Amino acid sequence: MESITPAENAAKTPIERRSFMLGMITAFAECLANECKKMALSPPFYPGDYESLLPDTERIAREQGIFIWYEENPEMDERSKLQWFVMYKFPDVLAQYRQLRDEGYNPAWDFERFFDLLSYGKVWGKGAENILFRMRESRETKNTVSRLLLRDGDWPPEKV
């Protein structure tokens, strides 16, 4: 699938899509570098976006001392395929991600399986077992990433 065109992006939002994606990647890289998160996923992107995102994503990873792994999602139908970078600081975290993937789980369809790795509702590191997590207030939110970065109806991708 081709990337979203600048004209499509401009019609949808005044935000420049590639810069927005690299900004998210940078913010997540900082969280990983400072060990606030175990792992992060870049915004999902179309296969046609890969070449334009890769050089800057690699530069950001180098600058922040983290690693990236390219998730191609071979199990997704070519018509609805989306991809992302898995961002991590420690190799054992990527191994845990890949284990979940080997078990047949995909963040696009089984996001809750990846909550621990993504540090959602979790704390980790020294003394983490002493922290009791609770949400102060849960509210319904819109999926900003898919709304701004993908064509309508492309998230979640079709499961075949």
Over residues 68-87, mean pLDDT: 96
Q: Which pLDDT does position 133 carry in this prediction?
A: 66
Q: Which residues contact 37 (CB under 8 A, 6 or more apart)?
A: 28, 31, 118, 119
Mean pLDDT of 129-133: 71
With pLDDT > 90 as the criterion, what percentage of the chain qualifies? 62
Q: Could you give phi then psi for residue 130, rounded to 5 degrees?
A: -90, -5
In sequence order, the 6+-apart residues with CB closer than 8 A to the CB of 56 are 22, 25
Q: Which stretch of DSSP H or E encloses residue 149?
A: helix 144-149
**Average pLDDT for the chain:** 89
Average pLDDT of span 66-91: 96
Average pLDDT (50-79) is 97
**What SS3 class is residue 21?**
helix
Over residues 95-118, the pLDDT tens digits come to 999 999 999 999 999 999 999 999
Q: Where are the domains of the chain?
A: 6-149
Contacts within 8 Å (CB) and 24+ apart, 147-153: 148/12, 148/13, 148/15, 148/17, 148/20, 149/4, 149/17, 149/20, 149/21, 149/43, 149/44, 149/45, 150/4, 150/44, 150/46, 150/82, 151/4, 151/8
> Residue 28: helix, strand or coil by DSSP?
helix
User: Over pLDDT 70: what percentage of the chain?
Assistant: 89
The pLDDT of residue 30: 98
Query: According to the model, what pLDDT value does residue 89 have?
Result: 98
- Tokens for 20? 């927005």
**pLDDT band, residue 28 (cuts 50/70/90):** very high
DSSP class of residue 99 equals H
